[in-house]
């Protein structure tokens, strides 16, 4: 089973938590891919440079200046820091963004109703299977930053990291049996977002619709669950949402997604 693991921005921003997570990730047996976010660090560095952040529906409005910041932060600082730490922990990591080897080709978002600027949605049909398979078969662990490339004009595009993880998992599911694991700072999808003991062990699309209507899942959890169900529909064997501390635990102790 190939594991595609996504690590969220709150863990990436905390060096102690990140180091612990990377040690555990490095210890996982078998082929694996790590997708990282880093939205919080991009916001902090942007601010220091006088570039204010605007988020709409969980996505960053990305003008030309913001694109420079997110490219430097995600595909540079964060990606290379994670690769170096993983290699030190004995994991044969190589860092990529969607532009490298044509790994993830995107379509720029329609400027209506919201003009997000340089933000793209991956095109599954153009997934760089050969690049990914060649590296994985050669024993590399791919570390993927959430920057993709516009298939129409070659410009770099900012892409939600949960969507990048779903794209890697779905893209690889034609070649490998694939599992997708979303790791973040909480223990899973919670009934009460402030109570880590309130993990919902299993969610189906029907239950998701109810949880959304009741306002129990909101904010960044909405795109995460949408991506999770999309992955299951497109051939990914299993999807879990769990704490970064549980990545090496059997069953992950978090939330498992199931088809209806």
Ligand X SMILES: Nc1ncnc2c1ncn2[C@@H]1O[C@H](COP(=O)(O)OP(=O)(O)O)[C@@H](O)[C@H]1O
Ligand Y SMILES: CC(=O)N[C@@H](CCC(=O)OP(=O)(O)O)C(=O)O
Site string (174-213) toward ligand Y, x via CB under 6 A: ----------------------------------------
Minimum CB separation of residue 134 from ligand Y in Å reads 26
Q: Which of 131-140's residues contact partners 24+ apart within 8 Å by CB, and which partners?
A: 131/100, 131/101, 131/102, 131/103, 132/33, 132/101, 132/103, 132/168, 132/171, 132/172, 132/175, 133/172, 133/175, 135/94, 136/2, 136/31, 136/33, 136/172, 136/176, 139/92, 140/92, 140/93, 140/94
Which range, of 42-50, 70-78, 163-171, 188-196, touches ligand X by CB under 6 A?
Answer: 188-196
Tell me: is residue 39 an annotated ligand-binding position: yes
Q: Which of 22, 25, 39, 256 binds ligand Y (CB under 6 A)?
A: 39
φ/ψ of 25, rounded to 5, equals -60, -45
Name residue 158's beta-bridge partners: 119, 147
Site string (84-103) toward ligand Y, x via CB under 6 A: --------------------
Minimum CB separation of residue 237 from ligand Y in Å reads 23
Both tokens assigned to 252: 């992950």
Which range, of 8-16, 59-67, 141-149, 150-158, touches ligand X by CB under 6 A?
Answer: 8-16
| Residue ranges at the known binding site for substrate | 38-39, 60, 158
* Binding site as annotated, residues: 38-39, 60, 158
């Amino acid at each position: 089973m190939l594991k595609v693991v996504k690590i969220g921005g709150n863990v990436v921003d905390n060096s102690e938590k990140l180091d612990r997570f990377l040690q555990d990730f490095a210890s996982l047996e078998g082929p694996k891919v790590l997708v990282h976010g880093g939205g919080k660090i991009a916001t902090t560095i942007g601010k220091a440079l006088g570039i204010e952040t605007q988020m709409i529906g969980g996505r960053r409005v990305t003008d030309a200046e913001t694109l420079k910041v997110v490219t430097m932060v995600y595909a540079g600082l964060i990606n290379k820091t994670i690769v170096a730490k993983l290699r030190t922990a004995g994991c044969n990591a190589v860092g990529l963004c969607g532009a490298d080897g044509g790994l993830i080709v995107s379509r720029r978002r329609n400027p209506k109703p919201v003009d997000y600027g340089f933000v793209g949605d991956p095109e599954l049909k153009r997934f760089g299977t050969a690049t990914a398979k060649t590296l994985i078969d050669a024993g590399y662990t791919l570390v993927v930053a959430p920057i993709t490339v516009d298939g129409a004009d070659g410009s770099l595009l900012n892409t939600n990291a949960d969507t990048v993880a779903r794209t890697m998992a779905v893209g690889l599911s034609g070649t490998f049996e694939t599992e997708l694991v979303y790791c973040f700072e909480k223990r899973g999808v919670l009934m009460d977002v402030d109570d880590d003991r309130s993990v919902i062990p299993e969610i189906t699309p029907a239950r998701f619709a109810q949880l959304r209507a009741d306002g129990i899942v909101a904010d960044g959890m909405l795109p995460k669950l949408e991506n999770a169900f999309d992955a299951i529909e497109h051939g990914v064997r299993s999807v879990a949402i769990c704490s970064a501390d549980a990545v090496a635990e059997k069953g992950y102790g978090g939330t498992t997604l199931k088809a209806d």
